[in-house]
Amino acid sequence: MSRLFPAFLFMMLLGSAVAFFFLAERVPFKPPMKPQTPTPPFDYEVREIAVENRDLDITLGGTLTIPNGDGPFPAVILLSVAGPNDRNQAFAGHVGFHVLADHLTRGGIAVARFDDRGIGASTGDYFASSWDDLSTDALAVGASLQAESKISSDAIGFLGMSQGGAVGALATLANKNVSFLILVSAPGLPGEEALKQQLETTLSLSSISGPRAENYRNLFAEFIDIVKSDPSDPSTRERMVEFLEGPGRALVPPYQFVPKDLEGRVDMFLSPWYRSNVLFDPAATYGSLNVPILVLGGSKDVVAPPKYHLANIEKILSDNFMSNVTAVTLPGANHLMQEAETGLPTEYASLENSFSPAALNEITRWIIEEHGSRKFGTR
């Protein structure tokens, strides 16, 4: 496996979304649908939506699904992993967010999912956006649901996967009208610490040790030091150019979404989006939350292992006297909540399941118990 180490390391540096491109770009044809892919006719309302984030002049295109019946129903807004991703979080024939939305809506929960900035029907520049910026997109979608007669205005929350969990928490902190939060494979360690932990995991999986491993640790330390420097200082850019032209060059494979030119790659690594990843502070993000929270992790998640990430989120919430918290580690699930064999990103595409049935049921059960039929209309 050591020959794949540069690709694994690059996945680690950019986040789990890289695995989608890493695998999907090696498929020269449109991949077949996976077995869980929902197909019409649907036993619920399906509506295309366009939401304006007026503060930042962004239009977000998405899909709203609402259960049949009078309602009002609880609603959840889905926030994707590191991207950019479309509304279905689609890759290699998988449409995990479509599978999730279908299951939730059939269970009596309205669901909004939308394309990330610059993807599909959404405008804007994803990489030029900080995680705080992206949280305003989530809030704009949430505000649009307030006007829906079949949606209960006091039962609207966020479900964020991986990076989306942090974005959802930031949105929840910024708006007292958010009713609940679901964190799925969410980051629970400070950004730099999480990346260091992923580096050590990657070294171990690749059977790299001794001087070679130490060389990669030094490269990583140099890279992170540049990213954390002032991006407006010309010397920061000069250092990143020198790094990517020199020792860091081998760590950047030619994936479709990666800029082909050096200046574009420098822009990406010094962007507000990437700096948000490195500078992420879980204590500040989760420590002041005051809504019901479900925290889900997968036992085979090698990107954000629950023994580190979920456990630290639990600790942060406990230290801040949050009592309405449910934390669950699902056996056999990977970072994307697929039932996995190894949990490695290299198998995401080849797995037949797009979303663990156990995870689907746990999420639905928790939302209904918090905001369910005892208070809202039934199907």
Shared domain for 176 and 54, answered yes or no, is yes
- In this structure, is residue 171 part of a structural domain? yes
| CA pair distance 112, 80, nearest whole angstrom | 12
- In this structure, is residue 378 part of a structural domain? no
- In this structure, is residue 267 part of a structural domain? no
Residue 176: domain span: 44-190+280-371
pLDDT of residue 24: 47
The last residue of a domain, from among 236, 254, 272: 254
Shared domain for 65 and 179, answered yes or no, is yes
| CA pair distance 118, 334, nearest whole angstrom | 27
Shared domain for 284 and 163, answered yes or no, is yes
Which CATH number is 311's domain given?
3.40.50.1820
Shared domain for 309 and 160, answered yes or no, is yes
Shared domain for 75 and 100, answered yes or no, is yes
- In this structure, is residue 203 part of a structural domain? yes
pLDDT tens-digit readout, 314-346: 999 999 888 799 999 999 999 999 999 999 888
The last residue of a domain, from among 254, 269, 292: 254
| CA pair distance 128, 315, nearest whole angstrom | 32
CA nearest to 84, candidates 60, 49, 63, 104: 60
Shared domain for 183 and 301, answered yes or no, is yes
- In this structure, is residue 38 part of a structural domain? no
Shared domain for 239 and 200, answered yes or no, is yes
The band of 1, judged by pLDDT with boundaries at 50, 70 and 90, is very low
Calculate mean pLDDT across residues 238-249.
Answer: 91
Shared domain for 250 and 172, answered yes or no, is no
- In this structure, is residue 49 part of a structural domain? yes
This prediction has a pTM of 0.93
Shared domain for 61 and 161, answered yes or no, is yes
Contacts with 153 (C-beta within 8 Å, 6 or more apart), sequence order: 72, 145, 146, 177
Contact 140, 167 (CB under 8 A): no
pLDDT of residue 250: 65
pLDDT over threshold 90, residue 248: no
Shared domain for 60 and 115, answered yes or no, is yes
* H or E segment and range at residue 192: helix 191-205
- The percentage of the chain sitting over the pLDDT mark of 70, rounded to a whole number, equals 88
Shared domain for 24 and 165, answered yes or no, is no
Name the domain count of the chain: 2
pLDDT of residue 375: 42
CA nearest to 250, candidates 212, 210, 278: 212
- In this structure, is residue 262 part of a structural domain? no
| CA pair distance 241, 266, nearest whole angstrom | 6
- In this structure, is residue 351 part of a structural domain? yes
| CA angle centred on 77, ends 74 and 83, rounded to 5° | 165
Shared domain for 156 and 77, answered yes or no, is yes
The band of 6, judged by pLDDT with boundaries at 50, 70 and 90, is low
The last residue of a domain, from among 239, 254, 269: 254
